[in-house]
């Protein structure tokens, strides 16, 4: 645990300016910035956390180690261990992901541990999972717990070194999960709902799903929703706002962002390409 002279930072608390803070899925997501060089006092955190360095350079003294980090590096630190950071000359921007104690219990249930510090500077699995979380947490507050929860489970499992599924064939329960997603993708499903359907641990479910399907559960659901939206857009007088709500998106702006990410164009642009001679009335996207 932290030494007596090292302040303990409570969940969601960091040195620096908080650009955005959001709590969901038993985790706290903080977009954090330091605008100039500074040396922070030694401190510890009550929650384990991932720190994704988005901009700038910084150094860290952690135990007997002194490390330097550049942009798009990721560090995981267990709870309660003192460290001291030095912000580089041009400041830094971090995306911090703190995880509540419930995640430690989930990892123990599937033979994982959150007690070892880890660093990743080569653009591996941790970085891209964390960047997907960064993208999703900067969307609407009503973002699906299923999407965030499944990505977070994969990220935590990666650092906890949970044993991977080694079977070559997809397990039978995966078919039941896929069927449930295909029939209920417009509903607010949770990772717990799917794990109950499969009869397996939620973390195991998330990892096997990605291995077998080549994408995360949240991404898979978004693709189902966008496909359904494209079909509904064939109805001449249905507005994009109506379609976004009917396909499970929080609002039209969320729908438009997801649509662009998956199709490479806006909903309005695709609609005009499919039926350019029909005049539609919908909000600009």
Do the domains 8-137 and 223-274 sit in the same CATH topology, yes or no?
no
* Intervals of the chain under pLDDT 70: 1-4, 111, 122-123, 140-143, 162-168, 273-285
In this structure, the chain runs to a length of 285
Angle at the Cα of 174 (from 214 to 106), degrees rounded to 5? Answer: 85
- What's CA 257's distance to the chain center, in Å? 16
What CATH number should be reported for the domain whose range is 223-274? 1.10.10.60
For the question of whether the overall pTM of this predicted structure is more than 0.75, the answer is no
- Give me the pLDDT at residue 167, please: 47
Q: Quote the pLDDT of residue 49.
A: 96
* CATH hierarchy code of domain 8-137: 2.60.120.10
Domain map (residue ranges) of the chain: 8-137, 145-175+189-220, 223-274
Phi, psi (degrees; rounded to nearest 5) at 252: -70, -35
Give the per-residue pLDDT at 11. 94
């Amino acid at each position: 645990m932290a030494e007596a002279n090292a302040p303990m930072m409570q969940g969601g608390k960091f040195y620096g300016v908080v650009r955005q803070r959001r709590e969901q899925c038993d985790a706290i997501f903080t977009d954090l910035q330091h605008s100039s060089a500074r040396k922070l006092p030694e401190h510890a955190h009550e929650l384990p956390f991932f720190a994704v360095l988005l901009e700038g350079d910084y150094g860290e003294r952690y135990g007997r180690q002194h490390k330097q980090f550049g942009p798009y590096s990721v560090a995981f630190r267990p709870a309660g261990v003192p460290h001291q950071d030095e912000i580089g000359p041009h400041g830094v921007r971090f995306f911090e992901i703190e995880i509540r104690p419930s995640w430690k219990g989930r990892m123990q249930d599937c033979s994982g541990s959150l007690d070892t510090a880890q660093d990743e500077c080569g653009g591996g699995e941790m970085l891209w999972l964390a960047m997907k979380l960064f993208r999703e947490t900067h969307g609407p507050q009503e973002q699906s717990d299923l999407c965030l929860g499944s990505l977070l489970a994969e990220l935590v499992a990666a650092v906890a070194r949970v044993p991977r599924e080694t079977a070559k064939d997809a397990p039978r329960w995966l078919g039941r999960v896929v069927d449930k997603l295909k029939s209920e993708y417009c509903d607010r499903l949770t990772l717990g709902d799917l794990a109950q359907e499969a009869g397996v641990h939620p973390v195991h479910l998330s990892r096997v799903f990605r291995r077998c399907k080549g994408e995360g559960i949240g991404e898979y659901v978004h693709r189902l929703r966008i496909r359904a939206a494209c079909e509904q857009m064939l109805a001449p007088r249905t507005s994009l706002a109506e379609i976004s709500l009917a396909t499970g998106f929080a609002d039209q702006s969320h729908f438009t962002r997801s649509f662009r990410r998956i199709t490479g164009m806006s909903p309005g642009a695709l609609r005009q390409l499919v039926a350019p001679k029909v005049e539609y009335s919908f909000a600009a996207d």
